[in-house]
Structure 1
Amino acid sequence: MDAADIEAVSTIRVRGWQAAYAGIVPRTHLDAMTVEDDAGRRRQWFSRPGRTSRDLVALGDRGPVGWICFGPCRSEMPAPERVGEVYALYITPDLLGRGIGRTLLGEAHAQMGGQGFEASALWVLSDNQRARRFYERSGYRADGAVRDDVYDGITLTELRYRCVL
Structure 2
Amino acid sequence: MTIDLIDLRPAEAGDCDALATVHSAAWLGAYRGLLDGVELERLIARRPAAWWRSALSKGVKIQVLEVANEPAGYASYGSCRMSNLPYEGEIYELYLKPEYQGLGFGRALFQTVREALAAQKLEGLAVQVLSDNQSARAFYRALGGKLAAKSSYYSAGKPFELAVYGWPVRGKA
The TM-score normalised by the length of structure 1 is: 0.88
Q: Which segments of 5 or more consecutive residues in structure 1 lack a partner in the other structure?
A: none
Give the counterpart letter for 2:64 in structure 1. V
How far did residue 153 of structure 1 move? 2.6
What SS does structure 1 have at the residue aligned with 2:140?
helix
Q: Which segments of 5 or more consecutive residues in structure 2 lack a partner in the other structure?
A: 1-10
How far did residue 33 of structure 1 move? 4.5
Q: Which moved more, 1:127-136 or 1:89-98?
A: 89-98
Aligned length: 159
Q: Deviations over 1:12-53 (max 9, x none)?
A: 1111111101111111112335568432211111112xx3x4
Match of 1:18 among 25, 28, 53: 28
Identity %: 28
Q: CA distance change for structure 1 residues 129 and 7 in 2, over 3 Å: closer, same or farther?
A: same
What SS does structure 2 have at the residue aligned with 1:103?
helix
Match of 1:158 among 147, 153, 162: 162
Instruction: Find the aligned partners of 1:36 and 1:118 in 2 and give their Cα distance.
Output: 32
What SS does structure 2 have at the residue aligned with 1:58?
strand
Instruction: Find the aligned partners of 2:161 and 2:44 in 1 and give their Cα distance.
Output: 24
Q: Deviations over 1:84-119 (max 9, x none)?
A: 000000101111111111000001111111221220
Give the counterpart letter for 2:94 in structure 1. L
Q: Deviations over 1:117-150 (max 9, x none)?
A: 2200010001000000000011111112x22222
The TM-score normalised by the length of structure 2 is: 0.84
- Which residue does the alignment assign to 1:141? 146
Moved over 4 A (4+): 33-37
Give the conservation status (yes or no) of the 8 Å contact 2:66–2:73: yes
**CA RMSD across the alignment:** 1.7
Q: Does 1:66 align with 2:70?
A: no
